[in-house]
Amino acid sequence: MVQARTIRLWSRIHTWTSLVCMLFLLMLCVTGLPLVFHDEIDDLLEDEIAAPAMPEATPRLSLDRMIAAAQARFPGQYVLLLNLKQAEPLVTVAVSPTAVPAPGNFHRLTLDARTAEMLGEETPHQDVMDIVLRIHKDMFAGLPGELFLGAMGLVFAASIISGVVVYWPFMRRLDFGTIRRRSSPRVKWLDTHNLLGIVTVTWTIVVGLTGMINTLATPLFDLWRAQLIPVLLAPHLDKPVAPIPSVQAAVELVCARFPDRLVTSVTMPTSARFGSPQHLVVWTKGATPFTARMLQPMLVDANDGKTIVAPEVPWYLKTLQVSRPLHFGDYGGLPLKIVWALLDVMTIIVLVSGIYLWAARRRSSARRKPLDAGQTAAAGV
Amino acid sequence: MPPSVSSADVPNRARHHRSAWAVFRVPLLVGLVCTAGLGLALVGDGIWDGLSWLALSLPVTLVAFYWRRAGRLR
C-alpha cells in the first residue's frame, strides 16, 4: 500500500531528524529558558547604575566631553564606542587597551550625560549569564559552533515538518486533544507528545528559524561590510585610522538631517570589523516598536566631519533585525517573556517525550521482532 | 468538534478515518492565532501587546485544558 509506505518514510524522517538535533535542541531550550529573562536576571545580579536626581531641564554636556573624560581615565587607550541610554541621561563609553579589541576585553564606563561624572566602571568580566549565552550561541566554539547550531536549527525544522505530517495518521482515529491517560505510559506520552507538539508548531518553527537566521549574523554583516566599505574608503586609500572628530557635531548633523531617527550609539573610527577607519558610524533607530528594531547606520566622514552617507540596509540584514525579537521574545513586556518560557518548557516536554517514545519503541520492537516487526514499523511510532 | 467522553480513551474503530482537514482544522486555527500573536506585539505597544499575550497563551491553555480533562476521566 503506497500510503502506508509514504507514512513510514515520513515517520522515519521524523525519527532521524529528531535524533540528530535532539541533544543540541535540549541544550538550546534549557539555556534559552534563563536567557528569556536575561534583562530581569541582570537587574537582580548587578547593581543598576542610576543617574542622580537633577532638575528636569538640566542640559546635557557635549558628547566630546564624555570621550575626553574616558581618555583621561585610561590615558593612551582606545575609545571604541559610545552608547546613549534612551531612558536616562547616561552615556556608556567602551575603552580598549588594544586598537582591535579582544572579545570581552574592554572597560565600560558609565558617565552622567549632564556632568561627565564617572558613575560606574565595569572591568572586563564574564558573569553567569554571559556563559549561558555563549553556550546557547556557539558552545564556546566561535563562528563554526554558531553555524553548526544553525544547521541543527534547519534539521529541527525538518523534524517539525515531518512531525506535522505523521500527526495525521496518528490522529485519524482520535479527537483533537485526546490524552489516553488510562492506557500504557507509552500511549499516554504519545498523545502528550502529539498534543504539545502540534499546538506549539508555529512558535517552534518561528523561534527555530529566526534562531537559525541569527547564526548567520556575523557572515551577513561581513558580507555587507565587504560590499560597502571598500567603495567608501576608495578616496582614503593607505591613510591611517582617522583621529576621532567631534562626535557631538556629527550627532547633531545626523539629527538635523534625519529628525525622525533616534541616535543609539556611535562607533569611533577603527580598523576593527565593527566600524570604518575613516568614518564615525552613528547608529540610529526608528521611534515605533517595529522601526526601533531597524537599526540604520549613518556614516559621517571623520576627515571633514560633514559628509554623511546613509547606506541602504540590505534585505538580508533587515530580515536579521526583525528575526531577533522573534527569537528572543523580548518585544512585548514581561507577560510575553513568561509565555515564551512556558512554550519553551512545552518544547522541552515534546523533546523528552520524543526520546522516550523512540526508546520505548526500540525496546518493544526488539522484543516482538520475530513476530510482527513489519507491523510495528507500519505503525511508525 | 468537542470529543465525546466515550471515545476519549479508546480509539473508535467503527468510526471512519478522519480526513486531513478534520485532523488539521483545529491545529491550523491554533497556528493562525499564534502567528497573529507573534506579529501583533511587533507592530505596537499597549493593546497590541495584550492581544499578543492572549493569542500566544492559547497553546498553553489548550494543553492545560485537555490534560486536566484526561485526568478527570480517570
Q: At residue A213, what is the residue type?
A: I
The fraction of chain A above a pLDDT of 70, given in percent, is 95
Predicted pLDDT of residue A2: 57
A377: pLDDT strictly greater than 80: no
Chain A residues touching B20 at Cβ < 8 A: 168
Q: What is the mean pLDDT of chain A?
A: 90
In this prediction, residue B2 has a pLDDT band, given cuts at 50, 70 and 90, of very low
Write the residue in A191, A293, A339 that is nearest to B53 by C-beta: A339
B8: pLDDT strictly greater than 90: no
Asked if the ipTM is above 0.85, the reply is no
Q: Rounded distance, CA A175 to CA A305, Å? A: 68
Rounded CA-CA distance A360/A381 in Å is 9
| C-alpha span between A18 and A281 (Å, rounded) | 43
Residue to mutate among B47, B66, B68, B69, with most A CBs inside 10 A, is B66
Chain A residues whose CB is inside 8 A of the B49 CB are 332-333, 335-336
> What DSSP string runs through A318-364?
HHHHHHHHHHH--SSHHHHHHHHHHHHHHHHHHHHHHHHHHHHHHHH
Which residues of chain A are within 8 Å of residue B54 when distances are taken between CB atoms? none
How many alpha carbons fall within 13 Å on the CB side of residue A214? 19
The C-alpha of B47 sits at a distance from chain A's nearest C-alpha, in angstroms, of 10
Put the strands of the sheet holding A262-267 in their side by side order.
Answer: A118-122, A107-112, A90-96, A78-84, A262-267, A279-285, A296-301, A308-309
Nearest residue to A207 (alpha-carbon basis) of B38, B33, B54:
B38
pLDDT bucket at A66, cuts 50 / 70 / 90: very high
Q: Per residue in A187-199, is it b (16+ CB within 10 Å) or e — as a string?
A: bbbbbbbbbbbbb
Mutate to test the interface with B, among A192, A336, A347 (most CBs of B within 10 A): A336
Chain B interface includes A231 (CB < 8 A) = no
CA distance A293 to chain B (A): 9
What's the helix, strand, coil split of chain B in %, to 5?
70, 0, 30
Mean pLDDT, residues A311-316: 92
Give the gap in angstroms from C-alpha A363 to the nearest C-alpha of chain B. 24
Chain B residue numbers with beta carbons less than 8 Å from the beta carbon of A167 are: 23-24, 27
